[in-house]
A and B are shown apart, each in its own frame.
Chain A
Amino acid sequence: MALHLNLLHEEFTEERQRKRDPLKLGIKALIGIGALLFLYYGWNAYQTIEINSQLGSARAEWQKVEPNVTAAQKRAAELHQIIDSTKVLDGFIDDRYYWAPLLALISHCVAPNIQLTSFDGATVETDHTISVTLEGIAAAREPRAAAEEFRQLLNEQLEKKKYGEVKVNFKNLEDLDTMISLQGVPTASARFILSVTFDPTPGDRAKKTEKTDEPRPTKPGKAPNDGDQT
């Protein structure tokens, strides 16, 4: 093994110490790390700028849409009110009772020996049934029987109309002392008061709760036949 003599030992040591200077190394490391952090910050900043531009376009889109949305919301509220109001008005129309067909029906039941002197009909607010009071005079050999015949016929005709809970009852039936001339013949007479009640839409309440989409019923409204008089 050859023997080496290091005559520059001190210089070498100094050189090594210079290279190993912690401050120098630390500064270098800091510069390196700083550069990395700067790059990372730059990347983040770039992403932020991109997001900012996305935000700008989102805002622009919203500003474009917003007036339409406000108008649409207003219109939707208006349409809802119209739909709801129409429903209520349709209910008002559907709940009406048509009196003309009843007048026609009564006129069909009135025989020549019956004269009606008064008709008082009303819809009952609470249950939408119809209540009618009829006053009249029946003339026949048996006037009470004639009045009863009229009552039965009216009851039958109302039931035929598919009205529900039909009730036709005498409130009063009394013989009159005066004779009435019927086709030139003096005839005995009786005065009667009939109370008529019925439900014009039987089963309708059940239908309403079911809320079916059936077409609305056609509106009646037939006029009574000519020549019939109360």
Chain B
Amino acid sequence: MTAIKLNKDQIQKIILSALGFIGLIYCYFTFFLGPLNRSRENMTAEIGDMQHKTASSKTELKKTANLEAQAKEATGRYEALKRTTAEGAPIAWFPPKMRTFFAKYGIDKASARLESSGNFKQPEMSNWIKDTWAIELPESDYSALGTALADLENTEPLLAIQRLVIHAVPEQPQSQQVSLFAQTALYKK
């Protein structure tokens, strides 16, 4: 095997070709394939992100639907509890309501005044207010009072009697003087 002898002109041409090749490879990777690959990687990542978001959102939609089904009872109950609060300021409708209620049991002259009003400690109860009322029944029959209280406790779920004071009226042995301190949970309207 004989070694190919290259003359100066040929060596120059080979070097020129090699440089051309290197230039071609550099340009190809730097200006063509590189940006293309980068944009493809970005798009792939974005697709992954979108698909993840879409999948998780579908799960979230399912979860919300399940929650809606589970919360059906709670929602119905909540709406019913909300309806126990009448429209307007409680001071305007609560005392007449109590007067009418006790009058149904023959207990007349019932009066109610707002003792205190405050918010619940729980953050989820931000739409509700806790009022304390002093209800005075100056003349009441014990039996009628018991029946009225039983009815009040059963028909007003968001009313809790905190204190009950009954005094006999010396001049009227059949009547008692009654004071009720009731706490109510009312929806802010």
Q: Which residues of A contact B (CB under 8 A)?
A: 20-23, 25-27, 29-30, 33-34, 37, 40-41, 44-45, 47-48, 51-52, 54-55, 58-59, 61-62, 65-66, 68-69, 72-73, 75-76, 79-86, 88-90, 92-93, 95-101, 103-104, 107, 115-123, 219, 221-230
Q: Check B16 against A51 for contact (C-beta < 8 Å).
A: no
- Top 6 nearest A-B pairs (CB, nearest first) are A26-B17, A224-B146, A100-B150, A23-B13, A84-B124, A58-B50
Q: Check B142 against A219 for contact (C-beta < 8 Å).
A: no
A69-B57, A99-B149 in contact; A86/B68 too (CB < 8 A)?
A: no
Q: Check A85 against B146 for contact (C-beta < 8 Å).
A: no
Q: Check B36 against A44 for contact (C-beta < 8 Å).
A: yes
Chain B residues within 8 Å of chain A by Cβ, number: 72
Is B103's CB within 8 Å of the partner chain A?
no
CA distance A98 to B168 in the complex (A): 22
The count of A-to-B residue pairs whose CB atoms sit within 8 angstroms is: 214
Q: Check A100 against B168 for contact (C-beta < 8 Å).
A: no
Q: Check B153 against A30 for contact (C-beta < 8 Å).
A: no
CA distance A51 to B47 in the complex (A): 8
Contact partner of B17 (CB less than 8 A), chosen from A29, A40, A119, A222, is A29
Q: Which residues of B contact A68 (CB under 8 A)?
A: 57, 61
Q: Check A119 against B40 for contact (C-beta < 8 Å).
A: no
CA distance A69 to B61 in the complex (A): 6
Q: Which residues of B contact A88 (CB under 8 A)?
A: 120, 122, 124-125
A223-B150, A230-B166 in contact; A93/B157 too (CB < 8 A)?
A: yes
Q: Nearest Cβ distance between residue A192 and chain B, in whole angstroms? A: 14
Q: Check B78 against A85 for contact (C-beta < 8 Å).
A: yes
A26-B16, A98-B153 in contact; A83/B74 too (CB < 8 A)?
A: yes
A85-B124, A93-B158 in contact; A26/B164 too (CB < 8 A)?
A: no
Q: Check B57 against A22 for contact (C-beta < 8 Å).
A: no
A30-B20, A55-B47 in contact; A65/B58 too (CB < 8 A)?
A: yes
Q: Which residues of A contact B174 (CB under 8 A)?
A: 229
Q: Check B54 against A61 for contact (C-beta < 8 Å).
A: yes
- Closest A residue to B7 by beta carbon equals A17
Chain B interface main SS type? helix
CA distance A82 to B73 in the complex (A): 11
A44-B40, A69-B60 in contact; A226/B143 too (CB < 8 A)?
A: yes
Q: Which residues of B contact A79 (CB under 8 A)?
A: 64, 67-68, 71, 74-75
CA distance A169 to B178 in the complex (A): 24
Contact partner of A41 (CB less than 8 A), chosen from B21, B28, B51, is B28
Q: Which residues of A contact B44 (CB under 8 A)?
A: 51
CA distance A72 to B73 in the complex (A): 19
CA distance A106 to B43 in the complex (A): 80
Q: Check A33 against B185 for contact (C-beta < 8 Å).
A: no
Q: Check A47 against B57 for contact (C-beta < 8 Å).
A: no
Q: Which residues of A contact B61 (CB under 8 A)?
A: 65, 68-69, 72
CA distance A75 to B4 in the complex (A): 83
Is B113's CB within 8 Å of the partner chain A?
no
Q: Which residues of B contact A104 (CB under 8 A)?
A: 146
A103-B142, A118-B168, A120-B165 in contact; A230/B54 too (CB < 8 A)?
A: no
A58-B50, A79-B67, A79-B71 in contact; A107/B125 too (CB < 8 A)?
A: no
Is B145's CB within 8 Å of the partner chain A?
yes
Q: Which residues of B contact A40 (CB under 8 A)?
A: 33
Q: Check A59 against B50 for contact (C-beta < 8 Å).
A: yes
Q: Which residues of A contact B143 (CB under 8 A)?
A: 223-229
A41-B33, A99-B149 in contact; A55/B43 too (CB < 8 A)?
A: yes
What sequence of 0s and 1s flags, for each residue 164-176 of chain B, a beta carbon within 8 Å of any chain A beta carbon? 1111100001101
- Closest A residue to B32 by beta carbon equals A41
Contacts A51-B44, A86-B74, A97-B160 aside, 17 further interface pairs with beta carbons under 8 A come to A26-B14, A29-B17, A33-B24, A48-B36, A55-B43, A62-B53, A69-B61, A72-B57, A72-B61, A76-B63, A88-B122, A89-B185, A100-B146, A118-B168, A122-B181, A229-B143, A230-B142
